[in-house]
């Protein structure tokens, strides 16, 4: 497709978006009222803004709008709440903190089912699901969100606790990738990470095929619904995704170039896990199935697990024959409880 045509379509989408996007209702933990049925409203940020260069700082006039839907769930467990005595620690500084980073399209109700596993084992949890626009269009700005999470950990005196991360799909890895960038670039003190759980990830970077483009657009459609977009807003957002990411990446593939989607420092989150996290010393648990349509199990076993075993890394594996992507709890609840709890105890 001619580059000028793409630019023209992009302008048309941006104009249409600015005219038609109305306000939507999104829940924010920090601004929620005492009535759980009430929600705070805000103007939707244009999902058509593409940022091409890594930004180390946000302008002051951007911050309020940028973090308008920043939302996480923190649950700290007190020693007297732990029923099983073998999990009870009187010194809360030694109590593990589990950072749960959700998958694209997840909501806090989904994540709470996993958090419950850790609560019963005496662990506090912080759950975070990244807004859709940062997954598909503004990935390069994810480090700003990760920095905010690091600040919240410090604010609640949680940054020095033993930390385990439960990363759901490549979207979960994306949040930690942003943290790693901030720690290295801005001098934040490193977290006391004791282990990683990789649930249905890491997967290879998309190849930019037509089928993959429309698969990702379908996922984006679902995610926009979770983020509170109206039907018209979802149509406009997906149209912009198709123009900004879909057609361009199909063209890049035809030219023999790498796909440009969901990259931080020009690195796909799955590649970050495969190539960078292999250098860490903390143990890792990989949870996957042979029937996952997103994560090819042969890729995981041959490109990720094999290299870690050869490097002498401490890894654990839980593999099932049948269970959908990030839905292992639904189909293997008892076993998932056992392997997750055993990993960090």
User: Which residue bears the tokens 């018209």?
Assistant: 232
Fold of the domain spanning 56-205+265-345: Rossmann fold (3.40.50)
- Of 283, 295, 298, 285, nearest to 327 by C-alpha is 295
The average pLDDT across 25-49 equals 38
- Of 192, 195, 191, 184, nearest to 150 by C-alpha is 191
* pLDDT at residue 26 tops 50: no
The average pLDDT across 117-131 equals 91
10, 49 Cβ separation under 8 angstroms: no
The full set of domain ranges for the chain reads 56-205+265-345, 206-260
From the CB of residue 276, how many other CB atoms can be counted at a distance below 10 Å?
12
The whole-number pLDDT of residue 128 equals 97
285, 197 Cβ separation under 8 angstroms: yes
Distance CA 211, CA 249 (A): 12
Query: For every residue of the chain, which 3-state class applies, written as one string?
Result: CCHHHHHHHHHHHHHHHHHHCCEEEECCCCCCCCCCCCCEEEECCCCCCCCCCCCCCCCHHHHHHHCCCCCEEEECCCHHHCCCHHHCCCCHHHCCEEEEECCCCCCHHHHHHHHHHHHHCCCEEEEECCCHHHHHCCHHHHHHHHHHHHHHHHHCCCCCCCEEEEEEHHHHHHHHHHHHHHHHHHCCCCCCEEEEEEECCCCCCCCCCHHHHHHHHHHHHHHHHHCCCCHHHHHHHHHHHHHHHHHHHHHHHHCCCCCCCCEECCEEHHHHHHHCHHHCCCCEEEEEECCCCCCCHHHHHHHHHHHHHHCCCCEEEEEECCCCCCCHHHHCHHHHHHHHHHHHC
* pLDDT at residue 257 tops 50: yes
First to last CA, the chain: 55
* pLDDT at residue 36 tops 60: no
* pLDDT at residue 32 tops 70: no
* pLDDT at residue 254 tops 70: yes
Give the SS3 label for residue 75. Answer: strand
Instruction: Please state at what angle helix 231-241 crosses helix 210-226, rounded to 10 degrees.
Output: 150
Q: Give 21's pLDDT tier (boundaries 50, 70, 90).
A: very low
The whole-number pLDDT of residue 61 equals 65
Distance CA 289, CA 324 (A): 7
Distance CA 97, CA 164 (A): 6
Strand partners, 101: 128, 167
Q: Which residues contact 331 (CB under 8 A, 6 or more apart)?
A: 320, 322, 323, 324
Residue 298 to residues 147, 288, 306, Cα–Cα distance (Å): 34, 11, 10
* pLDDT at residue 226 tops 90: no
The whole-number pLDDT of residue 89 equals 65
* pLDDT at residue 14 tops 70: no
**pTM exceeds 0.85:** no
* pLDDT at residue 8 tops 70: no
């Amino acid at each position: 497709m001619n580059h000028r045509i793409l630019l023209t379509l992009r302008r048309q989408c941006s104009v249409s978006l600015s005219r038609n996007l109305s306000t939507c209702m999104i829940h924010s933990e920090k601004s929620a009222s005492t009535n759980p049925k009430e929600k705070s409203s805000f103007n939707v940020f244009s999902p058509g803004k593409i940022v091409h260069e890594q930004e180390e700082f946000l302008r002051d006039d951007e911050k309020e709008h940028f973090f308008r839907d920043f939302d996480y769930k923190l649950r700290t467990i007190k020693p007297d709440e732990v029923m099983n005595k073998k999990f009870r620690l009187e010194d809360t500084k030694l109590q593990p903190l589990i950072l749960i980073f959700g998958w694209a399209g997840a909501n806090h109700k989904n994540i709470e089912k996993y958090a419950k596993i850790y609560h019963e084992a005496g662990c506090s949890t912080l759950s975070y699901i990244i807004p859709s626009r940062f997954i598909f269009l503004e990935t390069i700005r994810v480090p700003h969100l990760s920095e905010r999470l690091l600040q919240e950990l410090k604010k609640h005196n949680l940054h020095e606790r033993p930390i385990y991360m439960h990363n759901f799909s490549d979207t979960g890895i994306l949040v930690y990738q942003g943290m790693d960038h901030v720690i290295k670039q801005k001098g934040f003190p490193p977290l006391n990470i004791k282990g990683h759980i990789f649930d249905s990830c890491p997967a290879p970077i998309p190849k930019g095929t037509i089928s993959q483009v429309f698969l990702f657009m379908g996922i984006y459609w679902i995610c926009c619904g979770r983020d509170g977009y109206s039907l018209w807003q979802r149509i406009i957002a997906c149209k912009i995704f198709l123009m900004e990411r879909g057609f361009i990446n199909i063209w890049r593939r035809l030219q023999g170039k790498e796909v440009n989607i969901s990259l931080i420092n020009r690195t796909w989150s799955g590649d970050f896990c495969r190539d960078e996290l292999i250098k860490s010393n903390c143990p890792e648990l990989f949870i996957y199935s042979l029937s996952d349509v997103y994560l090819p199990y042969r890729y995981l076993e041959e490109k990720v697990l094999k290299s870690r075993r050869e490097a002498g890394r401490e890894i654990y594996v839980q593999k099932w024959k049948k269970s959908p992507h990030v839905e292992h709890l639904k189909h293997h609840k008892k076993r998932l409880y056992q392997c997750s709890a055993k990993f960090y105890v």
